Each structure stands twice: as C-alpha cells, then as structure tokens.
Structure 1
Amino acid sequence: MDDAPVALAPALPLPQTPFYSVEYPGYVASLDRALETLPQRALDTAFRRNATTLELHMRPRDPFAHPIQGDVVRTSNLVLKVVKRKRKDGTRGEYTATVVGSVGKTARFRAMADYQYIPDPQHHIVKLRHALDAMDVDAIKAFRFMTDKDRAQQQQQKASQQAVDAMDLDGTIDPQLLAGPSVPQVPAGESPLGLLGPPLWSRNPVPLLYGYKRSPVSVEVDVLDQNGNPVLDSEGNAKKRYVNKARWKGYAPAVINFADSTVHSPCPTSCVPHSRLLPQALPKAPPAVVEEARKTVNPKLVQRVVEKLSERPVWTRTALVNQFSAAEEREMQNSKVVLPLCAYMFNDGPWRDTFVRLGYDPRQDPEARFYQRLYFRNTANEMVKKATMAAKKKAKGTGEDGKPEERNTKSHIFDGQQTYTDTAVFQLCDITDPLLKELIDDPDAVRETVDERDGWYKESAITRIKGILRRKFFGMLDGRTVTDADCMDLVNLEDEVVVSRTIKVNNPNRKLRPRKNNMAKGAERPEDAIANRLRKAMQDQHDKKAAQESDSDEYVPD
C-alpha cells in the first residue's frame, strides 16, 4: 500500500474582474448582429441598474415586432479562459484553463416568443411610426388622417393593380377597364380600418407541462340539449365532453328582468344565475345548481326562511336578515345557498334587488305595491375601508373590546324620527312615518296596470312619497328633524306640478334597457351632473376673480 502524501490542488487567487452573461437563444454566427438585437442601453439597464427583465429584438428595425422577454438573475459562475495548444505530431493537445473573473448576473431567455404580426408597410400609420423613429420632420408634417373617400380610392387602386398583375397584361388593355364598380370591394379578410396588432398576443410566456393528459378532476359526461336529452352524433352514439367537477359553482338566486315573461318556469334549469340579460320565465323552483347544494345547508334554517316568505312574499336583504339571530345571520352569509333556495330576484323595476318568494309575481298582484323598494343615493357617504381585525370582529358579532355587539334589528324601518344607516333603502311597508303611511295607504294612488318605473302607484303619488321621504331622511342625516309641516308644500302640490318638478327622461314611452334604469328617480343623469359641476366651478372661479378685482380697486396707496 502506497503511503505517499496526496498532492493538493494549488490555491489561486480569484480575479475581481466582473463579467455579465447572456444566454442567447440562438446560434451566434455574427457577434455584431447578435449585439444589434440587444441594445446597449437595455444591457446597461439590466446589468448596472438592477433591472429584472431584458428584451431581445429579433427584428430591431421593426417597431411592430414583439420582443422575446428575458429574466436577469443573480449567479455565482466563473469565466474560464481555455487555451489549446496543438502538437505537430498529431497527438493529443495541451489544454490550459485560467479563471479570468466571475459572473454576477445572467440574462436567461426561457420564455416563448410571442406571435408576430407584420402590418402593411404602405399603411399611413405605419409610415408615420417609421417617420417618428427616424425623426423625419417633413414626413411628420405631411401626415394627414385618411378619410373614407381616400381609403376607398386606395382600395380601388390596390384592387386594380392586383388585377393587372394577375393577368400579366402586355399593355394593350386599358387598366381602367379592370377597375370594376365605382364602389371598391374590400377583399375577404381585410379590414378597411387598417387596425394594427396589439402590443401582446399571448399571456403565457412559459408552456404548460400538461404531458398530453387531461386534468385528474375532470370527468367524462354526456352532452345534453335544452330539454336534458343526450345529443347523438352521426353514428347514433351520445356525444361526450369533459367537465371539471372541482370548478367553483355560483349559488346566486335566479334573476329575471321586469319585462320578462310572467309564465312559470317549466323546470329549475331555465332560470340560470348570472344570466341577467337573457329573457327568463317566472321562477317556480331554484336553479339546478342551487338545488344540488340543498343537502349542505341547515334544513331548519331553510324552513324558517320559507315561513318568513309565506308571511311576506317580498323582502329586502336587510329586512329579512333582521328577522333572524346573529348566529343564523352568519350561517346564511356563509352558506350562500339558503336564500337562493327560497327566493328569486328582479334585476330592475320597482322590486329591484329584493328577495321574492318562488312562484309569486308582484307584477300580477296590486297588493304588492306595499313591497316596492325605494332607494336614494347618498353621495356624501364616504366608503372607508375597515381594518381587517375590525371586519373579522364585526363578522363574528363582536365589538372592538371583544364583547358581543348588540344587533340593530330595526335598520330597515323608517319612522321619521331617527336613522340607523347612511343609505336609504326602504320598502313601503316598512315606512311607519304617519304622513308617509297615509300617502302609501291611499287607495286613490293605485293605478290599473303595473309600470316598470312606478310600480302599482300613479306617477304623481310615488313621486310625492319619494320627495317627502328624501327630505326627511337627508334632513335627519344633517342632524335635524323634518316635521310634517315642513313637507306640506309637497303634499299640497297638484299632481301635474309634482310630476313637472321631477327630472324625467324626455320620452316616457321609451323602452328602458335592462340595467339602464336603476338610478334613483330624481337623480341627475351623469352628463347633466358633469355639466352642472363644470358650470359651478366656472362660476366660482369668476366670482373669485371679481372679488380680487374689487379688492384691488378699493386699495388706495398712501
């Protein structure tokens, strides 16, 4: 056994020369052309100014080409200088490796190249873009937006030139004879607008490693038609598709529009949640996806909600929740299924955003006028984000000190004496103010047919009720109590005067589109509100300037 000492590798000092590395995604045949795809400014920003990305332009002279995105990462690599010395006799050469420095940063291009789209180089916008890059002042000053007439002439000339080139004419035929009709026809697939491509086509920089396998949570099911029957292919076999059973399912109640059919839905699947703009029939049962989740909720709580809807067929969320304890309220909020199992909602109209008993149609019952919903927007109500801990304590029904917080179960009632919230959302049956109660119960205020905006009340009656409610509610928000005597000017007004003093649309017979008539009645249209604010700002500026001029005129120097 040889006991000779083992020779250790020599210890050499590490050079302090810094290097930067670029993992170029291609074969570098010309170093100059490779560096042209990586601008010097981009390299300096990436390696010397702590940038995290680097773009590689395969077509550096094309401003519409999408670059390849690279990542700049920190590394601890060494740069070796390898020298090979060949022998004249052809035997194995001698290699010498020397460390010349370390690599602190490396640019890696692991992302896929984006889709490329080359626009028409003769397009006027493309020419303008190149002129801006070249700082061509003459071309920039000569630029003009093309009109429809200019675009039509350009398309006509292009079509004529293509026809001439295709036929390879010898010049004996007049090209104008091949121009076709006076109105140019745009070739199929070509837009006359000349739209350019977006700055990014694909949002997936790295390919998905799916291994040509389907998701393990997806199962194969039959393709069903609208009636629930399997769809057959040409050979008579049922068509199959894969469905992700683990996907999130929305447990929203069935939603219909005021103008939808009053016929009962034949099956629970006809009223689909979130399909607010599709015509729906009157729901008589909850949606199928909600019915499947019935077994996951407390049946006693569902029965209590059904009993409340039997006593009163229409509720606002606040009014309905106030009928239950704090624990039941949390359970209803967490399950998301209790209310959709028992009620449906209107997307617009007098009963908008209220829970209506399944099978009950307030549009057919004049007594449903007491369940109409009134809503006023409080523009002075600032939405302040609550702290996370405070929000958690409120969700648990506890205050800041951790003790159980007393619930206010009268927040849905308006008595004209005090308010419980900064937002006015009330049903007419929950208004106990004597003056308003008398107007609400007035049988002469009922109309023969229901209206999409005013419900079962005449326009003058519901406008008078809203005006008094608005005055009293916002008066209490300002810290003062509005008495009945303060509202007698609205009570004693003639019906025509009440209607004329409200802000209305110009054509009352115009059919309002869904989700377009949900503003509180009497609120300004957005464009009118902007114009009024601008007019007020200009008036304030004018008054301020006039006051300054008046002060300067009164000043007399000694």
Structure 2
Amino acid sequence: MNNGHNAFTPLDRSQHAPWLPIPSRAISVVEHPAIVKNVDKGIASLGGPLKLSKGLRSKLETTTNAEGDDELKKLISVSLRPDDPFAKRLLSTPVRTNNLLLKVTVPKRTGRKRKRGSSGPFLSEGEIGRGGNGVPNGSAPYSNNYTDAPTIYRSLQDNASTHKVALAGIVDETHRFRNMPDLQYAASQNDTMVGLRDCVLPKKYSQLTKYNLNTAAGADLTKSVGPSPEFLQMPVAFNYRFQQNPYVKYTEKGVVNIQRSLAYNSYTVIKPTDEYVPSGPKPGLPAERDLTPYIQSLIANIRALLLERPVVTRQLLYNRLGWDKRTKLRQAAVYCGFFFESGPWREALIRFGVDPRKDPGYRKYQTVSFLSYLKAGTSKHHAVFDQHVMKLAKMSPEELETEHTFDGVNVSQTGNIFQFCDITDPLIARILATEDIRTTCAPTFQGWYHVGTWAKATVILKDKMNTIIGGETPDDSLYQRVINWPELWDDKDVAAQYKAEIDDRQIRHGKKREHDVMHSVRWAARNPRYAFEKMEALLEQEKQPGEEQEPEDLDVPEDMTEDPVTADAVLNAELEDAEDDEDDQGGEGDEDDDMEGNEEDEDEDMDGSWEAEDGHDSPAMPVRAVSEGPAPFGGYYRV
C-alpha cells in the first residue's frame, strides 16, 4: 500500500478515514447463479474441486499451442444436475476485476432457546441437537452455516459499534454466468443415449461389454435421429425493451384502458341541463406556454375561428385547418371551448363563456347527425378509410369549403353531421327560417325550435340524403304538404287530413312516397328514434316486395326517455358494440376512430410532452337521452 500518508499532519489524520492494510492475496470470485446454502453441493454443481481448481487462476487471454492453434480456455461450467451426464452445462465468462473483498465480523448470536411453556434453561442450537445433555439427538434437523441476508443486516444494525471490518484481499478475477442456458433434450426415453449412459460413461470394462451396437445395414427408421447439439444460437438474451403500456391499468376487476378516460378528462364536457357554462379550460391541463409551438399555433387558429363563429363542428374545423391535423386539433380544442354531452348542440365545439341556451339567435348553430342512412358504395373502414382521409388531406381548402354543408343536390364526403346554418337547401332553409319558435330552450331535445319544426327539417334532410345516395334526384313536391303544417300540431288532426287517401288503395299506392314522409314527420315529433329507424326499415321493404302494411294504424309511443347514460358507461362500452355502430355509418359516416392508431405517426416531429387521444368514438345513443356520454368530435345520434 502507498505509504505517502505518513506525510500528513495529525490534524489531517483526524479528518480522514483510517487506513487499512491490504493482504497480498489474490482471490477469485464465482458468481453462482443459484443461492448456495450447501457449499459441498455448490462445488459439485461447478464440476467438483478438481475441475474448479483448473478453471480458477487460468489464463483469461487466448493462447496458442506449439502448432499455432488456439487453445481452449479452461472455463468453469455450472449445472443444477451435476450427476446427470447429459445435462447441458452453462459456461462462465471470466473477466478481469480490481475489487476488494471485505470481511465483516459481528458478535455471534447465541440463539439460546427453550420450549414454550417450560421452565427449563435456555439452550443453544448445539445443545438442543444433543438433547440438552451433550448426547447427539438423531432426530435433530440438519444445521448448516447458511445465514440469510435479513439476518446479516439485522446483525449489523444491532452491532453498529462493535462489528469489525478487515480486508481479506484483492479480487482480480471474477467468473460470471451471463449467457442463456440452452434448451435441454430429455434423453431418458432414447435407447441410444440410455445405453451410452449405462455402459460407456462409467468407463468400466464389465459395463462396456454389455453395450450392443446395431450392425444392421441401413438406418433404423424406428429410432429417432437425435437432438441437435445446440438449440439456441444467441448466447446473450436479446433486449426487447419491453415497457408497460402507460394507457393500461391493472386493477382487481381486470384490465382498464385509461387512454380514452384521459382524453375525456381533458375535454370540458357538461350536461345540457347544467346551469352555467365554463369560462375556461380545466385547471389540470398543461399550461399553454409549455406546449409545442405547433400546438400553440393550432390553438390560435381555432380561437380565431370561434370568434367568427362561436359554435363549430369537427367537419368545419377539419375542412378549414386541414384533415392531416385531426389528432393535434383535438388536443388544441380542449383549450378553446367546451362540449355538451347531448342535446341540440351535441358534437359541437362551443367557445368558452358562450351559452347558446340563453339566446334564440344561436338556434342556427344547432346540430343534427345521422348514424345510419342508405350506404353509398363501400364502407370506409381500415385501409379504405385511411385512403379516404389521405385523399381529404390532399384536398385544398377551396375544395373542402362546402363539404360540411348540404345543398340538396350533393352529399358531404366528410361526414353526416350538420349545423342548421350550413343547410343551404332552399326547402329546408325555409323551414328553419321560421320566426315561430319556443320562448325557452329545450336543452335535451329540439333546442329553440318547436318539435314540429325540428321534425319537418330533420326528416326531409334525411329523406333527401337517402334519395341522393341512392342515385336519384329529390322531388320537392313530396314535401310541400308537410311544409304547410304548423310548427305545433295535434297528431290526430294532421292524420285526419290525409286519412281518406290512405283508405283508398289506388291513391295510397300512387302517393306512397309522400305518405311515408308524412308518417315519418309525425313519428319524429313523438319519438325521433323510432321514426328514423322506421325510415330505414321502409327503405329495406322497397327492395323486398311484399304485402303493404298500414302504418297509420301504428301506435307510436312518445319518447319520454330521461334516464342518463353516464360517461363511464360510454367509455367502458365494448369495442364490438362500437364497431357494430360504425358499420351502420356506411360510406358517408365519419370514422375518426379508424385512424387513431395511425395518426400518432403524423406530425410526430411536432409532438409535445402531452398526448391525449380519445380512442374510439362513443357508441350512438338515443337522441333524447339527457346525458349520452362525452362525444366531442365523435359519436352520433341513433336517428
């Protein structure tokens, strides 16, 4: 050891740890892969004392013999079945080290005990083994010198001032077992291997004479070929870098997907019956200054659009700012406005502080969406929908300018949710332009319009879309009588106006399409869900000719649904149900959820530390449900 410490003054010595001498003793360490409780068995697992001594202190560098060939290193090997000659052994990896081996001595615990309930003296473990009188007790359990780690740690704690530390030597060689063990072939069922084990490996002549070789010509097809000498070709395990999915939580009730819940918690979603509307985003959101410049620019663009129009749909947002930014727009939207769970402004982003239930002027921003109508071509799912979104992403803002509107001639490619102000069809626009409106808002159903106005506009809109998608041109004459109906009516009085035509089979057959529209409007005023599902059923009946039904005899119950469907129920809905709902959307249905997984790769260079996806769109619920679960930029009425 360097003796330079003699130059220090006594003051310096008091400020440093004491110096300890290092014995000139070289020590080799074997990092056994198992816990060694019995030293003899541990040495046997390493090949025995002879092989272990040859492996220790051997040259670690590759050497060559007199003929110039590399000599095999005498490596240590380990096996958990040292008595099995066919057990594959795991080779060690010798490395040079420069470590110190410390010897820590603590006072030995007496461990004296006596039987519980007895009054005899306390005896040590050795005395207990001799029966208390020095005579060995054959029934005493075997005792070894193995001490577990908690006991050692407790001994150090109990003897903090009395334990002794000494250096045992320098560890300059360490043998580690870091390679993967190979697959083991069970040779107990192989006659050839069993014969070698019993007759050849003992190296006894008497046993060797009992070994019989198969001298018959050709291969014995009844015998197995034998195992490969080596199965695994990678000695070191490949690091797959497995990581826990941050959006999956394991609970006592099972696996919970929290990705959609996180996204929902990021949005500000209120019930349509809440008294006040939020004036700002949730306080738990990351600060805007901490977001990426790209997200901040999207927030500014959305706010500028909301100043121009306080209520916007996702189609309008995507058409104005780009379909390739859908995921990032959803993240930015939570800083700009809030959503209603259901009601006349459902699925629309509303500027913070704006309450459309207080001013009838906001009735033009009411939304209506149809989950199911006549399908156009192939349903856009998976790869087909990916191509459809890529096509929309390549379209210019000028081409997308009118895609969120309905003009009575064309059907939108970007979805089937419309705001009343975006319906430019003259017939429907004239219905919505009425000044005969409600004095108070109906926040869970038709908003500021009377139920008759809402029924006429939505039924005609749906019927025209079905007609256009079916490849036909809508006939406005079918809707003239419906338009002349009042905004509020008595169903019996309206039915009586054309009952005579229904009773006449010839007239009923000639005006069937007009009568179907009139029936649907009446039904929609009482039960919208029933009405629009019935319209779909009538379309199917037209494809399958059969006996005509008498729809005027149907007793349509009024929809009095007021049971709320909680957000948790929607978020935890099974994926199969959501996919079934998506299949009903057809070619024109908005299918944001099919692109969720792929959009994470888009704009990857602009990602911030905060990421929130809303997963699959919420399953469609009845139009008049008070609380149908969160559906910001997703979800449809089942109408």
Greater RCO structure (CA 8 Å; 6+ sep): 2
TM class, shorter-chain normalised?
Answer: 0.3 to 0.5
> Of the two, which has the highest radius of gyration?
2
TM-score between both structures, scaled by the size of structure 2: 0.38
TM-score between both structures, scaled by the size of structure 1: 0.43
More strand by share: 1
